[in-house]
């Protein structure tokens, strides 16, 4: 994959014709690392808030997913807007599809693991189940999202510059 400059990670700007769409596993890996930054931030914060407030699984899933989308889309759009000198809306338009698919994949898997391992229903953030489920959910979510990003990069749906 040809790179014109070394920039913060982003993916999703399908309108950018300066890069080919040949997928590589390193590009998919870095796109997934980038995705994980927003997802893990939203997941941890959402779970901590939801469990601490005694929310049920569905409200916690809605909270974690909403926060992951907020953090992930922001982490992709703001640096891209600054780098390209465009508005935040234009940058969001470039990254939304790739970011959203990546984030929703990771969140679906992480939430499933958190729920199935009892972290989501542990009742307290101080329980072993809460942190053990998180420790398993993050790498499992990453591994599930890696091939998704590989396919999206290969099809030109997502980009990753690193």
Rounded Cα distance, 110 and 108, in Å? 6
Share of the chain above pLDDT 90, in %: 73
Task: Give the distance between the most distant pair of CA atoms in the chain.
Answer: 50
Would you say the pTM of this structure is higher than 0.85? no
Residue 156 has pLDDT above 80, yes or no: yes
* Confidence tier at 21 by pLDDT (50, 70, 90): low
Question: pLDDT by residue (tens digit) across 106-118?
Answer: 999 999 999 999 9
Region 49-60: mean pLDDT is: 97
Question: Looking at residue 65, what is its pLDDT?
Answer: 97
Question: pLDDT by residue (tens digit) across 124-149?
Answer: 999 999 999 999 999 999 999 999 99
Mean pLDDT of all residues belonging to the chain? 86
Could you say which DSSP state residue 121 is in? Answer: T
Region 84-95: mean pLDDT is: 92
Question: Looking at residue 2, what is its pLDDT?
Answer: 37
């Amino acid at each position: 994959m040809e790179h014109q400059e070394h920039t913060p990670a982003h993916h999703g700007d399908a309108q950018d014709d300066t890069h080919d769409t040949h997928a590589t596993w390193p590009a998919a890996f870095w796109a997934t690392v980038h995705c994980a930054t927003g997802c893990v931030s939203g997941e941890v914060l959402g779970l901590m808030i939801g469990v601490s407030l005694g929310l049920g699984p569905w409200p916690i899933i809605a909270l974690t997913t909403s926060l992951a989308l907020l953090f992930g889309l922001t982490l992709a759009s703001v640096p891209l807007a600054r780098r390209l000198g465009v508005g935040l809306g234009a940058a969001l338009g470039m990254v939304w599809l790739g970011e959203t698919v990546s984030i929703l994949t990771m969140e679906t898997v992480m939430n499933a693991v958190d729920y199935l391992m009892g972290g989501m229903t542990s009742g307290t953030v101080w329980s072993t189940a809460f942190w053990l489920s998180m420790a398993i959910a993050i790498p499992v979510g990453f591994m599930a999202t890696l091939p998704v990003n590989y396919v999206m990069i290969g099809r030109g749906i997502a980009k990753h510059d690193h």
